[in-house]
Amino acid sequence: MTEPLQEPRQNPPAEHPEPLLPRAVLVLLGLAATVLVVAGMRSVAGIIAPVFLGLTLVITVHPFQGWMIRHRVPAWLSVTISLLVLYVVLLGLVTALGVSVARLAEILPNYSDQFTAQYEHLTRWLTRLGVSNSQIQDALNKIDLTSIFGLVQTFLNGLIGATSNFIFLLTAMVFLAMDSAGIPQRLELAARSRPQLVAAMSSFATGVRSYWLVSTIFGFIVAVLDTIALYWLGIPLALLWGLLSFITNYIPNVGFVLGLVPPALLALLEGGFGKLLAVVIVYSALNVVVQTILQPKFTGDAVGLTVTVTFLSLVFWAWVLGPLGALLALPMSLFVKAVFIDADPRARWVNAIISSKPHRTGRRTPSAAVSPPPPEASG
């Protein structure tokens, strides 16, 4: 009897087939495509930044909208209420900031004498240190003292001019909120074909909500404490600087410095270097305790990025998208991470480098584990 013919044994396919092009070529092509995408984003930053800001805000209030729908509130009414909540918050911040800015522009000219007095005090102090009057005069002649107030006025005018995009933001939020009512059903359908991408986007939405919520709570705490401290120190427009510290709290790393400069300058003009030092110490103490020790413990799970990556994200997105890029640095980084890293199992190793808690992202899922080879067939 003849033995039946056995089919030739085939080796199992490789888990990750070799790319058609060398890895170096693929890297160069990826970098070239990234440069083109970034250049395109910079050219339309005035559209991308407001739309993405509106998207993150709509995502943040979406659970409230879903709660209303589950309690038999009509979809159109839940969308309207969600929009009204967002509009009240945004309009309240803009109105309060506009009133404070107008007050600041009104009071700044009154400090010209104090500025001159501090300038003369500094000159006498340098003279006592051995710097000659001629050297001081030569150095100060190169400085236009009036340009300092001009820079402040330019900053304030730019801040007011930034509200020109506000109407576009409000309009975009209308359409985003209208579409958000059907997002759960759309994601459920998309998950049938792209479950990993949908899971990554759901994680992005959760992270954005947590980030805005925690940043708002801690920003409010810091603003209240800063306002109380400035009132106690006798700094004018304490409420304005408290509001500024609340807004700059959304900007990671450098937001504290941006919120410190105006009250520190007024402290110098009001009471000299002693009061300036007091403001710097108070702001620094609050920043270290609240924003450096407490807040990261709550935002770590939402953001999950190292301090270096966070800072580089701030610089990069501010360069690409302008002033709003600084505000949207972390949400934009979370979005890019969700699309290009979390949604691709082969790229999740990057989390071990950029994540603030790599032990959470470094765990291998069952689907990613390599199965053992099949047992040899007995002859």
Please count the residues of the chain: 379
Query: Are residues 204 and 173 part of one domain?
Result: no
Residues 77 and 168 in one domain: yes
Q: Is residue 40 part of a domain?
A: no
Q: In this structure, is residue 140 part of a structural domain?
A: no
Same domain, 193 and 171: no
141 lies in a domain? Answer: no
Same domain, 331 and 210: yes
Rounded mean pLDDT of the chain? 76
> Would you say residue 190 has pLDDT above 70?
yes
pLDDT of residue 246: 87
Answer whether residue 375 is part of any domain. Answer: no
How many angstroms separate the CA atoms of 198 and 333, rounded? 17
Domain count, the chain: 2
Distance of CA 22 to the CA centre of its chain: 36
Q: What angle do CA 54, 57, 58 make, to 5 degrees?
A: 85
Quick one: 81 and 189 in the same domain? no
pLDDT value of position 378: 42
Pair 269, 218 in one domain: yes
Domain that holds residue 98: 45-115+154-181
The verdict on 161 and 280 lying in the same domain is no
- With beta carbons less than 8 A apart as the criterion, state whether 253 and 245 touch: no
- Alpha helical stretches, state H, 44-74: 45-70
Least confident of 43-57, 116-130, 172-186, 319-333: 116-130
The Cα–Cα gap between 230 and 224 comes to 10
**Could you tell me the two tokens for 307?**
């301090």
Q: Return d(Cα 12, Cα 4) in angstroms, integer.
A: 23
Measured CA to CA, the distance from residue 179 to residue 212 in angstroms comes to 21
Q: Which of 44-53, 100-109, 144-153, 182-191 has the lowest mean pLDDT?
A: 144-153
- Tell whether 213 and 339 lie within a shared domain: yes
- 290 and 311 assigned to the same domain: yes
279 has a pLDDT exceeding 70: yes
Residues 110 and 191 in one domain: no
Are both 167 and 258 inside the same structural domain? no
- Domain assignment of residue 138, yes or no: no
Kindly indicate the confidence band of residue 150, based on its pLDDT and cuts at 50, 70 and 90: low
- My answer on whether 352 and 328 are in the same domain is yes
Is 39 among the domain residues? no
Asked whether residue 256 is assigned to any structural domain, the reply reads yes
pLDDT for 81:
92
In a domain, 309, yes or no: yes
> Which band of pLDDT confidence, cut at 50, 70 and 90, is reported for residue 200?
confident
Query: Is it the case that residue 151 has pLDDT exceeding 50?
Result: yes
What is the rounded distance in angstroms from the CA atom of residue 45 to the CA atom of residue 51?
10
